[in-house]
Amino acid sequence: MRIVVAHMGPISELIVASSVNLGIKGKPVETKISWVVADENKYIFKHNKNVDEVFSEGEFMNRGGEFDLLINLWPSEIKTEATIRDHIGFGSYKEFEPFKEVLLHNKSIPQMSSQQLYFILAGLRWKGEGYNIPYFPKSRSRKNRVGVAVSNANLRNYVLDKLDLEGSKVWNIPYRKNIFKKMDEVNKCKRIITDDATIFHLSMNLRKYVYLLETIPFNLRIETYGQGETYRVPLSIVR
């Protein structure tokens, strides 16, 4: 069975959506999985043995051949010259339309996690599957180091005053554009403090303990897999 999964959203959401690979591979029928993503995000599946092929939107538009199923996980139209036998996700059922507003942060479903939402769109049942970004960082973890990746100095000072870090060494995680280089930096720490969605998800993928700062209300339930906690930050701190 040939399945193509489309996700034209930002990389922070694509990291979460990668969990769908595990749901698809968990089915008894042997499948080949391809993805369609924004051109700048193609590298995300570089180390992923579950993914057979990755297309940019333009590449898939001109792609011939046949696919048994298209799973569209982002509210955008997917055009292609390929023959698609079946379709699920956005553009398939009216019941999925409210999820568009959730992913665009115009609506909240606090009882549902992002992982659950993507599995529903894919016609799968979420059983606690985590991220599917298999990468082994080149760096080594330091037991007593707490990594901080926050948007401004006021927020950094506020959370360091509020959190009991038990004398741990605080280290500012340097900015890296490439997610694998971000993971190299994150892996140098035992615990992470962040308000950045990408850093949060990559830290979860590496099984770090994460203090996630809620600077704006979350529109979906945050899944920490028992290895993190969330802190609501007063609006006055982030202005």
Q: From CA 208, how far away is CA 193, in angstroms rounded? A: 10
Question: How many C-beta neighbours within 10 Å does residue 7 have?
Answer: 27
pTM (predicted TM-score): 0.94
Residue type, 92: S
Fold of 2-121: Rossmann fold (3.40.50)
pLDDT at 133: 97
Q: Encode 45-82 in three state secondary structure.
A: HCCCCCCCEEEEHHHHHCCCCEECEEEECCCCCCCCCC
Per-residue confidence in pLDDT tens, the chain, 239 aa: 999 999 999 999 999 999 999 999 877 778 899 999 999 999 999 999 999 999 999 999 999 899 999 999 999 999 999 999 999 999 999 999 999 999 999 999 999 999 999 999 999 999 999 999 999 999 999 889 999 999 888 888 888 888 888 778 999 999 999 999 999 999 999 999 999 999 999 999 999 999 999 998 899 999 999 999 999 998 888 77
Fold of 142-238: Rossmann fold (3.40.50)
Residues whose CB is less than 8 angstroms from the CB of residue 235 and which lie 6 or more positions away in sequence, other chains included: none
Strand order from edge to edge, sheet including 189-194: 169-172, 142-149, 189-194, 209-214, 228-232
For the chain, the structural domain boundaries read 2-121, 142-238
State CA 47 to chain mean position distance: 16
Burial of 196 (0-12, 13-18, 19+ CB in 10 A): buried
Q: Are 2-121 and 142-238 the same fold in CATH? A: yes
pLDDT at 207: 96
State CA 13 to chain mean position distance: 4
